[in-house]
Each structure stands twice: as C-alpha cells, then as structure tokens.
Structure 1
Amino acid sequence: MIEIHAHDVAVFENGWKVATVTRSGALKLPAKDGPVEVPFQVGDAVLVGAGGSIIVAPLSFDGATDIARKVIECDPRTLTDGHSLRALATAVIGFATQIVAPVKENA
C-alpha cells in the first residue's frame, strides 16, 4: 500500500475528504497488461473515503480538464460513469482551495 501525503481541504458529512497532494509520488494501478505506475504531483486533488481508502486517485488539473472536455462533448461513456462525476467534484473543490491558499511541497 502506498502512502499519499496530502492536506485535507474539505470534510463531508459522510466522512469523505477532498485533499491536495503535498508530496509527489506514484500509484501502481491494475491494467489489462499488468500493473501500471501512475505518477502524481504536488497540488493534485484526491478524494478519500471515511475509512482512508482512495475513492478518486490523485487527479491533475490537466486530467480534470480532460474529463470536463469529454462531458461537454457528450462522450456517452463519461456521461454515464459515476466515477467521472466524483472526479470532477473532487477537482473543483481541490483546485478551488489552491486559488485561495496554495499547497507547498514538504521538504
């Protein structure tokens, strides 16, 4: 299990939290051809469940923009995917907090 260093920016009634990444790293995610290492950077937004599990993996602004573009272009797969909605909500809250108080990488 990989540890993601992040700063909570919003906590919700169901115990879920939006956080922003404070230290770069990478996640190994399953894929058809075997695990793939997916890097994440300082400032990426992440959604964490009440028990500490990752609901939305660290998402960059570019990644969120790509999802938003697919929604606007009416990509049927993205429009019907509940995960895409959670990812967009995570991005909006995570990135909006950085405009007010940017997160700096820990030394």
Structure 2
Amino acid sequence: MEKIIFVDHHQNRIIELPKTLQERQKLVGADYLDVLRLPNNIDIWFDDEGAFKEHEFSSVIVTPNGEVHQIPGTYFVASVNDKTETIGLTQEQIIYFCNRIGYKAWKNQK
C-alpha cells in the first residue's frame, strides 16, 4: 500500500494513494491540481483554483527554512521519485512532515 496523508481538517488520516489523476482530483474536490514541493521529496497536492472558491478551512504550511504557504481546502501529501512520478510516503517522510513541517489550520469566516 502506498500511503499518503489526506488533510480535510475534520479527520486527517493516512490513506492509500489514488491510482489515477481523476481519483486524486475527486479526493481533493478539484478540477485541476497543483503541487507544492517541500524538502525531503514531499509534495502537497491541492486545488489549483482553491483560492477562488469558498472552503470551510485553510492551512498554513511552514517549512523548516521558514517559507510560509497558504493552502485553501483539502489536500494530500505524497512523495515523488527521481522520475517525478507521484508515489506514497515512506514512514520517515510521514514522521518528517508531522514533526518538521509546521501545519496550522483555521476555519474560514463566511
């Protein structure tokens, strides 16, 4: 099983990596996905048009070097291999993301 972290702000969890692009878009609730590359071959996949939509929650991601990124809505965290293919996370990457990447969520005002 290729593991990813699915962040929906209600029940964040580790799930199996969806195989197709369409399944990944459906998971995030997006027509188009964008990727944020983080250290340690970690990628965050999110709704490319998310900034133009209403979302219940948003996140701030802070990398160990202090870079700050805002991500609206749900997203998933995966890895990338040397062929730039999206793959599941290793146990070490899951620990790295959970312990070294700053994550804060807030409920958006409607």
What is the TM-score when the length of structure 1 is the normalising length? 0.34
Q: Determine which structure has the larger helix proportion and give its number.
A: 1
- By relative contact order (CA 8 Å, sep 6+), the higher-ranking structure is 2
Q: Determine which structure has the larger strand proportion and give its number.
A: 2
Rg larger in 1 or in 2?
Answer: 1
What is the TM-score when the length of structure 2 is the normalising length? 0.33
